[in-house]
Amino acid sequence: MPVYVLSEGRMDHLPAPTTLPERMAAIARGFFIVRDVAIVDHATRRVRQCFLTADRGEVPMHESELDPARFFLVTEKCLRSTVSVALRSQGEISGVMMFGSKQPYAYDVHDAHLARRVADHVTLALAYQRMAEEQRLATEARAHAATLETRVQSLTREIDAMTGYGRVVGESPSWRQVVKMATQVAPTDSTVLLLGESGTGKEVIARCIHRASNRSKGPFVALNCAALPESLLESELFGHERGAFTGATQAKPGQMEMAAGGILFLDEVAEMSLSAQAKFLRVLQEREFQRVGGTKVLSADVRFIAATNRNLRTAIERGTFREDLYYRLQVFEINLPPLRERPEDILPLSEAFLADLSQRIARPPAGISREARESLMEYGWPGNVRELRNVLERATILCDGGLIGAEHLTLTPPAVERSTADVDDADAKARSAGAVPPGTDLRSAEKSLVEKALRDAKYNKTKAARALGLTRTQLYVRMRRHGLE
């Protein structure tokens, strides 16, 4: 924009640094001195000024319009002269320092050089202050990160103790076989299918595989397919784009993306809808997927572990589960035995659970009584390991720091009634056969019944238990009780 200079009654056309960018450029080249400034018009904020810059020398008096801040300095502070120098930091201008005077022609080049030295000291002081502030923030960030890391490790240990790696307890042959298979498949990147009743520890084994795999540094993401309605399962698994459905106000990544570089554990995989199964099958085959409502193809750097308590072959026959998906999942199949088939692990698991519970309860139990141990061994455990933990947690609260007795164990009535009915039925069979003399007490009668069943079955435990209407576990308990092992 041209500037008209008033000089000796003439108007000469002369470019001068009147705009803010031009002033900043002049300051960057060295200094910018306003020799004299006077107000021409308050309404338009126009003033007459005379400049002195490092590259152009003195510019004759001319009129220009000031921004509100500088016009305030002229009107309110009555500044007639200013000198401005740049504050340089790491080769760039970080600010401007300005000195002002109420006298016209108060500054010259010598003052500008002096202002330059002052500005250098100020710049150095500001740099030290900035470095100190950055160091303080970095120290706080490191302390905060250390606190978070400690918290994460604590939570990881707590989760592992409750549901994961720390809960691999058991010495029975069937459980040792499960752990052995998990150890064998962990270093690979193969898909694993975990089968077993609810509460047998499928997620425990999945976490063990994660810890022992090459993806242990990556995330372990668990998704319960039965906990979500069909309309939300695909969105939760694959994610969705904004506007994909009513309520999708923004894009959201799915569990598939959250598990990138790690393991995605799909619990109750048999509860997937057929449409979700078809999309999941493509992920297993092509290792790529799309968000719901999206068109961009995303890669799936994920290892999959699926689990179910259902019979997948029966589900295939009923048409509720895809056969091709079953064979994709059945790369490495592990069957987890129910707790009733590994009675050797009941007491070790009980001790491990009580050790964990003792850390979270003010008055931990003193132990488990002999009667309570027998009750734990006799019970059928339809809820498996999960039910065992819940029973012991309630018993820990009820015993109030004492010894856990049989009266503190809340076992479901059907199991107790079934056990009693088994004994009564066995007594009736024995009495009808004349094996127990009249007037014999219940304990002696039970011992005689067990002895006779073992003799008749030629000490085949399975046949003897079937003859008495008992399970093998219940038979072993009675054999130990009467010294018949």
Domain spans of the chain? Answer: 4-129, 164-337, 339-411, 415-485
Model pLDDT, residue 437: 52
> Are the C-beta atoms of residues 449 and 426 closer than 8 Å to each other?
yes
Q: What is the pLDDT of residue 155?
A: 60
For the entire predicted model, the pTM comes to 0.56
Look up residue 456 and give its DSSP letter.
H
Q: What pLDDT does residue 197 have? A: 93
Q: Count CB-CB contacts under 10 A for residue 465.
A: 22
Q: What is the Cα–Cα distance from 43 to 152, expressed in whole angstroms? A: 64
pLDDT, one tens digit per residue, over 383-431 is 999 999 999 999 998 888 888 998 899 887 543 334 444 444 544 544 4
What class is the 4-129 domain? alpha beta
Q: Which helix (H) or strand (E) holds 220?
A: strand 220-224
Task: Quote the CA–CA distance of 209 and 203 in Å, as a whole number.
Answer: 10
Return the CATH fold of 339-411. Answer: Helicase, Ruva Protein; domain 3 (1.10.8)
Residues making up the chain, counted from first to last: 485
- For residue 43, the tally of other CB atoms under 10 A from its CB is 5
CB 283 within 8 A of CB 257: no
Q: Cβ distance 265 to 220 under 8 Å?
A: yes
Beta bridge partners of 221: 264
pLDDT score for 65: 78
Q: Which residues of the chain have pLDDT under 70?
A: 1-24, 151-167, 413-442
Class of the domain covering 415-485: mainly alpha
For the chain, the distance separating the N- and C-terminal CA atoms, rounded to the nearest angstrom, is: 109
CA dihedral 33, 39, 44, 46 (to 10 degrees): -40
Helices (H), 213-365: 230-238, 255-258, 274-286, 312-318, 323-329, 346-358
Other CB atoms within a 10 A radius of the CB of residue 193 amount to 22
**What's the CATH number for 164-337?**
3.40.50.300
pLDDT of residue 311: 92
Contact between 378 and 360 under an 8 Å Cβ cutoff? The reply is no
311-348 b/e (C-beta count within 10 Å ≥ 16 → b): ebeebbeeebbbeebbebbeebebebbbbbbbbbbbee
Q: Does residue 288 contact residue 297 with C-beta atoms inside 8 Å?
A: yes
| Fold equal for 4-129 and 339-411 | no
